[in-house]
Amino acid sequence: MALALQGGGVHGAYTWGVLDRLLEDGLAVGRVCGVSSGALIAAMLVQGLVKDGAAGARQEMRRLWERVSQANSLNPLQSGPLESWLWGWDVSSDLVWQGVETALRMFSPAQLNPFGHNPLRAVIADVLDRDALTHASAIPLTVAATDVETGASVRWTNAQITVDVLLASCCLPFVFHAVEIDGRAYWDGGYSGNPPLGPLLLPRPPAELVLIRAQPAHRPGAPGTPAEILNRLNEIACHGVLEAELAALPGRVRVSAYDADKVLAELPLSSKFNANPAFLTELFEAGRAAALLAPQAAAK
Q: What is the pLDDT of residues 153-173, one digit of tens each?
A: 999 999 999 999 999 999 988
Classified as helix, coil or strand, 285 is: helix
Ramachandran angles phi, psi of 181, nearest 5°: -135, 120
78 pLDDT more than 60: no
Q: Are 97 and 270 in contact (CB under 8 A)?
A: yes
Ramachandran angles phi, psi of 276, nearest 5°: -55, 130
Percent of the chain with pLDDT over 70: 83
Give the predicted TM-score (pTM) of the model: 0.89
Q: Are 37 and 10 in contact (CB under 8 A)?
A: yes
Q: How many CB atoms are closer than 10 A to CB 226?
A: 12
Classified as helix, coil or strand, 191 is: helix
87 pLDDT more than 50: no
84 pLDDT more than 70: no
Q: Are 96 and 76 in contact (CB under 8 A)?
A: yes
What's the CA gap between 245 and 299, in Å, rounded? 11
> What's the pLDDT at 115?
46
Total residue length of the chain: 300
pLDDT averaged over every residue in the chain: 86
278 pLDDT more than 80: yes
Distance set, CA 67 to CA 18, 23, 70, 77, 280 (Å) = 19, 21, 5, 17, 12
When pLDDT is averaged across residues 40-59 and rounded to a whole number, the result is: 98
Amino acid at position 165, single letter: V
Is the sign of the CA dihedral 162, 164, 167, 169 positive or negative?
A: negative
- Catalogue the E-assigned strands of the chain: 2-5, 31-34, 141-147, 153-157, 179-181, 184-187, 208-212, 254-258, 296-297
Give the active site residue among 20, 90, 188, 259. Answer: 188
- pLDDT top residue among 164 and 96: 164
Residue 164 annotated in active site: no
76 pLDDT more than 70: no
Q: How many CB atoms are closer than 10 A to CB 68?
A: 22
- Degrees to nearest 5, angle at CA 50 with 46 and 52: 115
> What's the pLDDT at 267?
86
Residue 188 annotated in active site: yes
